Amino acid sequence: MDVELFRLTLPALPDSVGLAGACAAEAARTVGFDPRGATQLRLAAEEAVANAVQHAYRDSGQGQLEVRAERVGNGLRVLVRDWGMPLYELPDESSMHGLHRIRELTDRVFLHNLGRGGKEVELLKQQARPAAPEPLPAEPEEPAEMEVRPMRPEDAAGVCRCFYAGYGYTYGYEDLYFPERLIELNQSGILTSLVAVTPRGRVVGHSALALEEADSVCGELGMAIVDPGYRGHHLFARMFGQLADIAKRRRLTAVYGHAVSIHPVSQHVLHQFGMQDTAIMLGYAPPSLDSQKAGAGERQTLILAAKRFEDGAPRPRLYPGRHRAMVESLLGRLGYEPVLSDSDGPLPEHSVMSSSTSAGLNVGTLTFRTVGQDAARLAAAALRQLCLRHVDVVQCYANLADPGLTGLVQALERLGFFFAGVHPGWSGGDALVMQFLNNLEVDISSIQLESPETRRLVDYVLECQAERLELA
């Protein structure tokens, strides 16, 4: 939730420049910026206010400015509003004094035209995430064999220490830093955690089967970590193997997991257990998701892999048009013949849709449980709100068996979404996955794949993305 830290109403005079900058610097220190970051925000705020004084009011000394600051997740947003000369787009750097400097000092700069409400320049700066610490030294006599077993309440603090050893405080799921939350999630059935422990009882690894709800029929294999000092004991494979067996015994219809794409190690672990790659999630994760790269680099592309357990006749699935061959191929890799149709049925008047954000990942999610006649309007409104929150990526999920899927996909593509794949076992069925990148460039050259079949999917997704960019 955004928290306002201060709001100033200032005259459009040169004396206001220093006051606004001082307040921005103090707000930055309150949020936790280091001295260098606080100074950068002070200078950026001063430049923005100076530009408003000089250009919006042409140094007339007439008029007012409003300057406010908001805490946004790990960062700070500074907004400078004036009611002077309209400006409909950020000008070229050469024609606006200080704009180049503002862009160098902050992460993003936006201009909002508010009609009679004036115009507002928005400066956004995130704190640099701390890098993961150096690996803790292993116990000197460490054994050739370690036990993998269900987590006990007394293990929870050790799990939290494991995530700190691998990621610092950069891991996207904050609950894993709170022992009491980890215990509660396991007691509720939302998580089933396994730990790897030494003969002395030290926790050196963790992985979990995670459910959206305690009665969900599909689960995620993830939250995996091995203390850097204990890699090389095949602990990932042992934990994932046991979790897959647990999922099957519980009669889940499917399990899925996310592999990073900057190296094939995590892909290999998932493929070992018969999981197939079914979706590509461009730029979905911050650099810190991979403990070997924590604290550095650009956002990462993830690969969604799944395994289906259920037997019997396939459920009806409707999917249309130009993505049909790829959908058939992806579902076919999971071992069943999909039943697809291009025909749509009557739609309800109203959709059942939810919108959510993950602060740790800076990702928004649109979920259509039911596609109704208002789906296009709802999707457009929700996307706009998510973009205003400056999420980097928006994912959209909708059931392949929904009669309104064809129209929804067409509406989403008009908004700039592109095909990303399918999510087997989603919400009791199978979902189509669409993706939207919010002014985000993804480094495609860093993607490394273990499976040649996955290369076909990556190429297809990139083609779909390129088509959307051409139409934008």
288 with 405, same domain? Answer: no
258 with 291, same domain? Answer: yes
Q: What is the mean pLDDT of residues 208-219?
A: 88
Per-residue b/e over 143-161, b at no fewer than 16 CB within 10 Å? eeebebeebeeebbebbbb
276 with 353, same domain? Answer: no
**Domain range spanning residue 90?**
3-126
Which residues are within 8 A (CB) of 269 and not within 5 positions of it... i.e. 6 or more apart?
Answer: 236, 237, 240, 259
Give the residue from 255, 281, 308 where a domain finishes.
Answer: 308
CB count in 10 Å sphere of residue 67: 24
Confidence band (pLDDT; 50, 70, 90) for 219? very high
pLDDT of residue 315: 57
298 with 325, same domain? Answer: no
Nearest 5°: CA angle at 188, between 178 and 163?
Answer: 30
Q: Tell me the C-alpha distance between 387 and 332, whole Å.
A: 35
Give the residue from 262, 283, 308 where a domain finishes.
Answer: 308
CATH value at residue 287: 3.40.630.30
Name the 3-class secondary structure at 236. helix
338 with 454, same domain? Answer: yes
CATH value at residue 440: 3.40.630
pLDDT of residue 193: 97
359 with 455, same domain? Answer: yes
Q: What is the mean pLDDT of residues 392-412?
A: 92
Residue 273 tokens read as 């257990």
pLDDT of residue 140: 43
Q: What is the mean pLDDT of residues 308-335?
A: 74
Examine the pLDDT at 186 and tell me if it is beyond 80.
yes
Give the residue from 308, 333, 348 where a domain finishes.
Answer: 308
| pLDDT single digits (tens) 286-308 | 875 554 444 445 788 999 999 98
pLDDT of residue 93: 45
Q: Tell me the C-alpha distance between 332 and 241, whole Å.
A: 23
Pairing of strands 254-260, 218-226: parallel
DSSP designation for 273: T
102 with 200, same domain? Answer: no
pTM of the shown model: 0.68
| pLDDT single digits (tens) 339-357 | 666 556 688 999 999 999 8
191 with 244, same domain? Answer: yes
290 with 380, same domain? Answer: no
Q: Tell me the C-alpha distance between 189 and 184, whole Å.
A: 9
Confidence band (pLDDT; 50, 70, 90) for 90? low
pLDDT of residue 272: 86
**Number of domain units in the chain:** 3
Percentages (nearest 5) of helix, strand, coil residues in the chain: 35, 30, 35
363 compared with 340, residue with greater pLDDT: 363
Nearest 5°: CA angle at 257, between 156 and 404?
Answer: 125
* Lowest mean pLDDT, pick from 5-19, 114-128, 134-148, 375-389: 134-148
DSSP designation for 321: G
Examine the pLDDT at 9 and tell me if it is beyond 50.
yes
DSSP designation for 184: H
285: left (phi > 0), else alpha (psi -120 to 50), else beta? beta
> Would you say 42 and 22 are in contact if contact means Cβ atoms under 8 Å apart?
yes
270 compared with 1, residue with greater pLDDT: 270
